[in-house]
Amino acid sequence: MRIVTLNVRNPSFDDGANAWPHRREAFFETLRRLRPDVLCLQEDIEALHSEVCRECGFTWFMGEPREDESPSTEYGSMFFRESIAGLASGTEWLSETPQLEGSKGWGAACPRTMHWIDFENWTLINTHLDHVSLHARTNGMRQIIALADSIGKPCLITGDLNAEPDEPALALAREAGFVDFSEGTGPTYHGFRKPSSVTEPLTTVLERVDKIKRLVEIEQDPIRRAELLRSHAEIKNRAFEYEKLAFPESSKIDYILARGPWRCERAWVERGDYSDHWAVVADVEFTDSSR
């Protein structure tokens, strides 16, 4: 069984040369070539679901929006082929109130979820941990492990954990008996960046954003004001790019974790220009004949 996990980078974002229309074909070409049996996405949106099924031959999927139901709201969907049938499924919000839709926990920047499907012999959990709060990532993983323990079956955890391997969230997973099938496969997040793109400190960029914003507020000439607004948008976009530099130039933050009688025949990171993350791919076999 081939498992692929990928943060698709929200297709509704305005990413300039890296916007969805410019990478859509590369995204689908990559998936068609990999031909996963199970595809676990992060940052997917509703408009993408039927297209993924049609283009990649999936017959069903499971996912829920993590907050409202606007067109840009992110899911965390799992796609399957007809030969794989689930028994039960559900969604929990990673917070102190896991059944409250849209709830945030432990200082998270936005609502975070885990989606799970229970199969006859195993359980799959797909998640996207918070990118800001270490506390939220750690407690989110604690909640995920608790769910896996309560179901009590061999388990796979997939997703963008926004955490390097030495973070507490991954330490918790290891202590709970999970093995990283993607260990040693290299970085998974690149942020559409080239090493030469970082040329000035983040503080300098943020100061320029504030300065231009103040100029826009006092400028009376409409032509000059329009020019300033364009500059402000460009610098704000650069500030957003710099915000992503909370991680090194390329980081391992996407995982396929396994607990139980699984054998990984092969795992790798699929490089390409289809997202700001690279897909993690694993060919796995369930080896417990007693279940």
Full pLDDT tens readout for the chain, 291 residues = 999 999 999 999 999 999 999 999 999 999 999 999 999 999 999 999 999 999 999 999 999 999 887 888 999 999 998 777 788 999 999 999 999 999 999 999 999 999 999 999 999 999 999 999 999 999 999 999 999 999 999 999 999 999 999 999 999 999 999 999 999 999 999 988 754 344 555 556 567 667 777 777 787 888 877 887 777 666 656 555 554 544 445 689 999 999 999 999 999 999 999 999 999 999 999 997 555
The confidence score (pLDDT) of residue 246 equals 44
- 33 in a structural domain: yes
Same domain assignment for residues 232 and 254: no
One domain, residues 83 and 227: no
Asked if 41 and 168 sit in the same domain, the reply is yes
CATH number at residue 120: 3.60.10.10
The reply to whether 169 falls in a domain is yes
- Do 130 and 210 fall into the same domain? no
Burial class (CB in 10 A: 0-12, 13-18, 19+), 254: buried
Number of domains in the chain: 2
Q: Any idea of the CA torsion for 291, 59, 189, 166, to the nearest 10 degrees?
A: -20
Angle 46-56/20-34 helices, nearest 10 degrees?
40
Q: Which domain range does residue 33 map to?
A: 2-192+249-286
Instruction: Supply the pLDDT for residue 124.
Output: 98
The reply to whether 291 falls in a domain is: no
Structure tokens at 289: 């004949």
- Judgement on whether residues 31 and 116 belong to the same structural domain of the protein: yes
Q: How many CB atoms lie within 10 A of CB 247?
A: 17
229 and 133 co-located in one domain: no
Which residue, among 195, 194, 180, 196, has the nearest Cα to 269 in the 3D structure?
Answer: 180
Statement to judge: residues 136 and 68 lie in one domain: yes
229 shares its domain with 166: no
